[in-house]
Chains A and B, each alone.
Chain A
């Protein structure tokens, strides 16, 4: 059976009723700042970038940061210094030469496809290959068994602030799943609640599933994640049970995709620091 636009539209009405657990990813990629609240003239921050199971323990793979972007409070691009890739983590420094809030992020979006040929499962893009729209046209059949074309987006972010916080870096790109903070991400304190708003392609990501996990994983038995579902405005209210560093993961899925995709998915992740009262 092939997907048609009509059946896709019929499905979109049901999309929000879908209830799905957060698709577990074996390893989480994270970028951890040494501090998120900085004072003084042109302070420096250092970062660890790695993928691992346990937060925030660099014991698996260094993260590749070719696509990492730094946005300064005035919108210009920041410069990473002293970049070094070791066995388990990539480290780099950032000189906060402007007062205000800086954002570090990686973001990508594009199509992927699955289908079957003579019972063989096929997927596109092939593993390890950088996809292009032209390659999609050439390599993905227009009709195939169990063809499923998905428009997917991924984003990772973390924030640091020098002196007085600002909000210029919160301006959404309106592509994919992203966070527009209502509570400033560098003003998080244990015992307080933070309100975060999620957008999908610029619109409220109602029903997005969010999971928040504290760091220091090695020193306790249970994962201790907390789960939240975004409301009709795409908002969640997160309580921080204790001070420390946290990993937030959000997932969204619906059928409101632009042709030729029939499914739209978004994944977002971020690292936050919560200070003690």
Chain B
């Protein structure tokens, strides 16, 4: 005889159905907007987790011109000026799993696991997920999404840039 079990899904968890199925504990979506400009360069972008005192808790991604000869692309990392002063200026690049090439317009999805590099283990507390983008012959913008760690429920928090960044979302999974 076949036994048939049904798992009763309480109403309070139905929100989970709408959330993306994630393996990661923390995921970040960064939208790089399409811009109609004469001379377009893909933006230098930094994604990091920041503590309440503005110090960098974890560098999650740094996209820059990694292909320039003599590693000259690092010269403009300082144009991401809040990332630079809050901790970027102490980072030696490249960093496996963090640094990479700049991205064309579109959405980037980054996934991180608690306890594993580059997210590492964040002590409980209030943080901000910050994205800063600087574009050659273009603008510079910073978007910040506050969140509490560890997450008590699965949710997506987001903020939107107005010029150099589109929507930045933080997807949390407890």
Chain A: residues with CB nearer than 8 A to chain B? 37-41, 43, 163-165, 187, 189, 275-277
Measured between beta carbons, the chain A residues less than 8 angstroms from B90 are 163-164
A39 to B65, CA, bound (A): 14
Contact indicator B71/A41 (Cβ below 8 Å): yes
Pair B89/A164 contact, Cβ less than 8 Å: yes
- Neighbouring A residues of B77 by C-beta, 8 Å: 39-40
| Interface residue B84 (Cβ < 8 Å from any Cβ of A) | yes
Give the chain A neighbours of B74 by CB distance below 8 A: 39-41
Q: Are A187 and B78 touching (Cβ within 8 A)?
A: no
> When chains A and B are docked, how far (Å) is the Cα of A38 from the Cα of B89?
9
User: Is the CB of B153 closer than 8 A to any CB of chain A?
Assistant: no
Report yes or no: A163 in contact with B71, Cβ–Cβ below 8 A. Answer: no
Q: A164-B89, A165-B89 are in contact. Are A37 and B71 (CB under 8 A)?
A: no
In B35-81, which residues have CB < 8 Å from any A CB? 71-72, 74-78, 81
Residues of A within 8 A of B71 (CB): 40-41
CB distance from A101 to the nearest CB of B (A): 11
Residue of A at shortest CB range from B71?
A41
Contact B72 A39 (CB under 8 A): no
Q: Which residues of B contact A (CB under 8 A)?
A: 71-72, 74-78, 81-82, 84-85, 89-90
Most B CB contacts (10 A, CB to CB) among A163, A187, A276 go to A163
CB distance from A5 to the nearest CB of B (A): 51
A275 near B81: Cβ-Cβ < 8 Å: yes
Interchain Cβ contacts under 8 Å between A and B, 27 examples: A37-B81, A37-B84, A37-B85, A37-B89, A38-B78, A39-B74, A39-B75, A39-B76, A39-B84, A39-B89, A40-B71, A40-B72, A40-B74, A40-B75, A40-B77, A41-B74, A43-B75, A163-B89, A163-B90, A164-B89, A164-B90, A165-B89, A187-B85, A189-B85, A275-B81, A276-B81, A277-B82
Q: What residues of B have a CB within 8 angstroms of the CB of A189 in the complex?
A: 85
CB B21 to nearest CB in A, in angstroms, measures: 38
Contacts of B85 in A (CB 8 A): 37, 187, 189
What is the bound-complex CA distance between A213 and B77, given in angstroms?
30
- Inside 8 A of A276's CB, which chain B residues have their CB? 81
Q: Which residues of A contact B78 (CB under 8 A)?
A: 37-39
The CA-CA distance from A231 to B75 in the complex, in Å, is: 40
State A40–B82 Cα separation when bound (angstroms): 17
**Residues of B close to A163: CB separation below 8 A:** 89-90
Residues of B within 8 A of A37 (CB): 78, 81, 84-85, 89
- Per the bound structure, the CA–CA distance linking A41 and B82 in Å amounts to 20
- Assembled-state Cα–Cα distance A86/B77 (Å): 34
Contacts of A38 in B (CB 8 A): 78
- Distance in Å from the Cβ of A45 to the closest Cβ of chain B? 12
Q: How far is the CA of A43 from the CA of B82 in the complex (A)?
A: 20
Residues of chain A within 8 A of B72, CB atoms compared? 40
B contact residues around A165 at 8 Å (CB): 89
B74, B78, B84 — most chain A CB neighbours (10 Å): B78
- Within the complex, the shortest CB–CB distance from A159 to chain B, in Å, comes to 14
Most buried by B among A39, A165, A275, A276: A39
List the B side residues contacting A43 at CB < 8 Å. Answer: 75
Query: Please, which residue of chain A has its CB at the minimum distance from the CB of B88?
Result: A39
Distance in angstroms between the alpha carbons of A94 and B72 in the assembled complex: 18
- The distance from the CB of B140 to the nearest CB of chain A, in whole angstroms, is 9
Most buried by B among A40, A165, A187: A40
